[in-house]
Structure 1
Amino acid sequence: MKVTRHAASRRRRARTGTRGLWTTAIAALAATGVVLCLVMVLRPDGGSDPGRTVAASAADTPSSTTQGKPSRSPSPSLSPSTAPPTATPGASPSKPPAATPGARAAASKPARAASAEVPSAGRIRPGVTYRGLATHYDAADGNGACLFGPSDGLMIAAMNHTDYETSRACGAYIRVRAASGATVTVKITNECPLPCAPGQIDLSKQAFAKLGALSAGELSITWTLLSPSTSDTVAVRYKTGSTQYWCGIQVVGHRNPVARLEVRADGGWRALARTEFNYFLSEQGTGCGGALRITDIYGEQLQVDGIPVRADVLQPTGVQFRQH
């Protein structure tokens, strides 16, 4: 009986030990399951609820990072609509920065002023000082490439070929100044052909003598365009051979350089082509003997009527451009 009780006791302890092992194993498995579930829920990559990931990201501190990249969302104060743009080195902005009203006015004022003052100026512009050489020639009676005819006085000059600009310089008044300070005012009546250089003025001997000795041959000079006072009025002359079917028209006695000449045609105005010999040509006779509109380099326009086709006759208009 004693042996039997000991054996029964060992069997009970064995069963108890076995139950304890199973209980421990089950508890361990349960704990493992809980850990796995937590890992699946808290993993930053797939397997978690997107809404929960965003919430976690928003709750991170500013210094928290995930794989080296900031994990917090941009602050609402730096939203795309208000955040300062990031410039790309070397890249031009797609839109220039807005200037203050005062800056815009200051930047645009010179352009407006230039356009308003000399809208039709060519190479020779008011307010500009040009540099070059003065030479001299025998002007005889003062007639030249501009075909104005003999001059009343010989304070005249020939403009270099470049600045002559297809007779645009004809009739212009310029003030020439030598390095010594001596000055002379001359009217352009002629062209100085190549190799006369841009800026060069070929003066009559009489005009050159106002600046220095003729024996010098040439002088360094500066010169500027003038708009002189005058009692003369503009006159119009039709070229020899002009008729109602073909005509050349010349403007004489103008205070400021002439930029354009137009004739009335088809209810409007048609500009005539300018020639090297200082006439505007109407090859088909358009506007010959009709109304004319003359524009100077400052944009002022003079309209004249009743100028009949009378070849090689100087016909006064009674009008003149304003002084500038």
Structure 2
Amino acid sequence: MAMPKVTSVVLAMVVSLAMVSLVAGTAGTATFYTPPYTPSSCHGFQNDGTQIAAASDVFWRGGGACDEHYVVQCTGATNEGVPHPCTGRSVTVRIVDECPPGSCRGTIDLSQEAFAVIADPNAGKINIEYRQYVSSVAVPACIYL
């Protein structure tokens, strides 16, 4: 009878560790760009909506970031112009473009609409925490020891 308890404990540990890796974020900065959002490096003239972003060379990977989703949250101001820019919300964006080398002033360049979800656009540039959004976590149904 001890086997089911061990399996449950191991399964709970696997799920807990998976959740920790999904929650932990990476520090960076965000700026925003304004319409028109086409053409984009990933999809040309396709309309990708407004919850989008351009990746800096930090994670562009030669186009490998196209269509990846990132959850972005403001963590604070980068200047004294807007001392408390954060709204307390987060936004999930899809990478559809590349920040041209040298022109990206942040880790990620959000659409103006996505930036406004998480911060006052008057800030221009903010400190953020971001993580890649993973839609599902594969967890084994049974673990036998």
TM range (shorter): 0.5 to 0.7
Counterpart among 45, 49, 62 of residue 153 in structure 1 = 49
Matched, 1:212 2:119: yes
Runs of 4+ deviating beyond 4 Å: none
Matched, 1:187 2:94: yes
Count of residue pairs brought into register by the alignment: 106
Query: What is residue 164 of structure 1 aligned with on the other side?
Result: 60
1:150–1:137 CA distance, 2 compared to 1 (3 A): same
Gaps in structure 1 of 5+ consecutive residues = 1-112, 118-125, 229-322
Q: How far apart are the structure 2 equivalents of 1:153 and 1:194?
A: 24
CA RMSD of aligned residues (A): 2.4
Of structures 1 and 2, the one with the larger relative CO (CA 8 A, separation 6+) is 2
The residue type equivalent to 2:100 in the other structure is: P
1:148–1:132 CA distance, 2 compared to 1 (3 A): same
Conserved? CA contact 2:58–2:107, under 8 Å = no
Query: What is residue 144 of structure 1 aligned with on the other side?
Result: 40
Q: How does 1:22-171 map to 2 (within 5 A)?
A: 127=22, 129-147=25-43, 149-171=45-67
Corresponding residue SS for 2:130: strand
Shift in Å, 1:151: 2.6
1:142–1:191 CA distance, 2 compared to 1 (3 A): same
Gaps in structure 2 of 5+ consecutive residues = 1-13, 76-85, 138-145
1:224–1:148 CA distance, 2 compared to 1 (3 A): farther
Q: How does 1:171-250 map to 2 (within 5 A)?
A: 171-179=67-75, 180=86, 181-195=88-102, 196=104, 200-228=107-135
Q: How does 1:13-28 map to 2 (within 5 A)?
A: none
What TM-score, normalized to structure 2?
Answer: 0.63
Q: How far apart are the structure 2 equivalents of 1:152 and 1:189?
A: 8
Q: State the Cα deviation string for residues 41-99 of structure 1 (Å, max 9, x = none).
A: xxxxxxxxxxxxxxxxxxxxxxxxxxxxxxxxxxxxxxxxxxxxxxxxxxxxxxxxxxx
Q: How does 1:288-299 map to 2 (within 5 A)?
A: none
Query: What is residue 291 of structure 1 aligned with on the other side?
Result: none
Corresponding residue SS for 2:58: helix
Q: How far apart are the structure 2 equivalents of 1:167 and 1:136?
A: 20
What TM-score, normalized to structure 1?
Answer: 0.30
The residue type equivalent to 2:72 in the other structure is: V
